[in-house]
Structure 1
């Protein structure tokens, strides 16, 4: 990109930020959600959307819904399609130091943003590696990893649950599935945290540069891994995906993006489940005691945590054609933000939705893993890891509690603790 184009892009970001701020100033509830500080609790703003009706149109023309029924309809309907997360990303070019000749985005370039029939074909390649049978086969390995990490927790002083446990467990598991070395774990953790902010879209030149660096590092890393697997294939998932490229079933860019998406999605979601669960149990000691006295409630705990704190707060779909939704006419190309976190607290579906209740009968009806064709392919793995980790954690430390302020991930989309000190006793 030339210097002139760069300046134009930065100016465009500045103008977009001013427009968003102006919309907030005149009380636009849609703009207020999009303008929230990264890491902020957005539920009060989501409720303002709900109070305006089932579908709220912002000054920009973008629509937003907090309704469970409308979110579910949009996610499942073929009248709406998935779209890239940020148009700004498309204007980025590889930095001078990057070895690869392209920048690849984990969501925009993978099957996560693809639509049928391409999405169906790509998902069919990956799905077998996350089948219920293979998940059951990994049960013992996950238990082993969990036990090893629990042995490292210091019971005499507060420890960072996220750094020492919640990220370690799923990171090691997804590394085993993909065939990546555990020694690269610090890189993966940093990429996972930075990725949460890039999903929000860049609002400044510095954020744009951080996105460029992140994507360059991810692309170079997996370009090297894929090249190695092509020379020395194994039984890991990346080797199998490389074979799909050789057979013409997947492009090189699609392969690199899918590897990135599986790595980041493979540990960030589970880390958030574990972190959010411990925070909720600490804030509700009667629920913690009920769980500690009956560890068979583990599945219920995981589902209720997913309902109460959706790891991905919202998802965007675009109208494929002129259509009608929630009594309103939408033009072709109208973006609709489905507030998954708000849908999970819809009082029309969940009684006393703000309450953390591990006995909630319909907790599993949440939309935290989306719905329809783009239902999270790793949902089974995330559930299994969360169940094994939380059961073992409460069995070992039945009175675990938060020991200080919780710092959340710097993202509007991703919701989970970045750091949380706990007493393990």
Structure 2
């Protein structure tokens, strides 16, 4: 498409490896740009990103090309309008703020402490797979009430589904492991729903949705809940430990921990992009989008818009507007479990800072986020001091009542 030279020279490999310099360039000069490698538009300015995500009538997820639906079928993630509401509402109640605090706080604290106990003695661990991933899986499994599964099994399903969605988004064929993993998840969901003696979110949703619909929505909740939270914990640890001055602020003022989490979400959202499809010809900023065009919103680009976030590449736990970040998307498809992900991340960081004195990055194993769609370090190797006793008040915030 003529008129978008920066988009024409943008590669998906660059966006997966280190997207932020290129996103800044696009945002300044081509805030809605046509990327031939994407075969669609990329939106990088925050106000235009909001326009797309708010207007489900003009920019829909309900399209055969929507990659998650190709793997798990129609769900609240890939439907709009009345059908979206019908799929989403049966799952909404447990994820409201008060219900999250009352329903999951104690469970998250127990699981967090159990996982830390398993790793604390050696003084070193790879935290993504030994802690962040298992915690996210345990909480999602608890939230769904999924019977007859283990953390390792659910984590393997999730990883296979994520790989398939990522393959499709990058224009490749999806590996068969994703479909096989979803088939096993679907069997587990149907077994849970069939046992009416149990009380779970899946069983209650089955009163309003068909079994296949319960399974597809369970898959996207699992998919989103694990991915979002694992990335939130891992990226937030990386940001804090990479900035000793900011970590010192959080240690001295526990009230800044929430700001640190929001700022990490702003700088490196776990889901870097969301896709929409134009339902009609429309003007979007400087571009004319045609009906049927793919419109990809760069949450990573919008979150570093200098018109909203001064000095946008700086990690600042005291940034007063960090909650304007769009890591959980916006509009009808705002992340259903955002409050739960925040609670998990807050408790996880609190406990890690309290219980692992001298927590620091392993200098011999550097880490950086990577990924076109889902961004986090592949591994996060950390070290801490062993045998020095529990951390004192300077080493981490206390758990809120």
TM-score (norm 2): 0.86
From the superposition, tell whether residues 408 and 200 of structure 1 become closer, same or farther in structure 2 (CA, over 3 Å). farther
Alignment of 1:178-193 (within 5 A): 178-180=144-146, 184-193=150-159
2:92, 2:282 → 1: CA distance? Answer: 32
Shift of 1:57: 2.1
Give the CA deviation at 1:252.
3.3
1:76 aligns with 2:35: no
The Cα offsets for residues 305-362 of structure 1, whole Å up to 9 and x where unpaired, read as 1101111001111222221110332222222111000110111110111111100000
User: Which of 49, 56, 59 is the equivalent residue of 2:26?
Assistant: 49
Q: Which runs of 5+ in 2 are unaligned?
A: 386-401
Question: Counterparts of 2:340 and 2:132 in 1: how far apart (Å)?
Answer: 14
- Residue 14 of structure 1 corresponds to none
**Is 1:215 matched with 2:193?**
no
Asked if 1:419 corresponds to 2:365, the answer is: no
**Structure 2 counterpart of 1:338:** 297
Gaps of 5+ in 1: 1-22, 91-103, 245-249
CA contact (8 A) 2:146 2:188 kept: no
Q: Distance in 2 between matches of 1:85 and 1:337?
A: 15
In the alignment, is the contact (CA less than 8 A) between 1:46 and 1:342 conserved in 2?
A: yes
Q: Aligned equivalents of 2:109 and 2:246: distance in 1?
A: 24
Does the CA contact (< 8 Å) of 2:76 and 2:217 recur in 1?
A: yes
The answer as to 2:189 corresponding to 1:225 is: yes
RMSD (Å), alpha carbons? 2.7
Asked if structure 1 preserves the Cα contact closer than 8 Å seen for 2:147 and 2:191, the reply is: no
Number of matched residues? 379
**Alpha-carbon distance between aligned partners in 2 of 1:182 and 1:287, rounded to the nearest angstrom:** 43
Identify the match of residue 203 of structure 2 among 234, 239, 251. 239
SS of structure 2 residue aligned to 1:63: strand
Could you say what secondary structure the match of 1:235 adopts? coil
Pick from 295, 303, 307: which aligns with 2:262?
303
1:273-284 correspondence runs (5 A): 273-284=232-243
Higher mean C-alpha deviation, range 115-124 or range 59-68: 59-68
2:40 is aligned with 1:62: yes
Quote how far apart the aligned CAs of 1:27 are: 6.3
SS of equivalent to 1:329: strand
Q: After TM superposition, give the deviation of residue 284 of structure 1 in Å.
A: 0.4
Contact 1:197-1:410 at 8 Å conserved across structures: no
TM-score normalised by L of structure 1: 0.81
Question: Paired residue for 1:329?
Answer: 288
> 2:53 aligned with 1:120, yes or no?
no
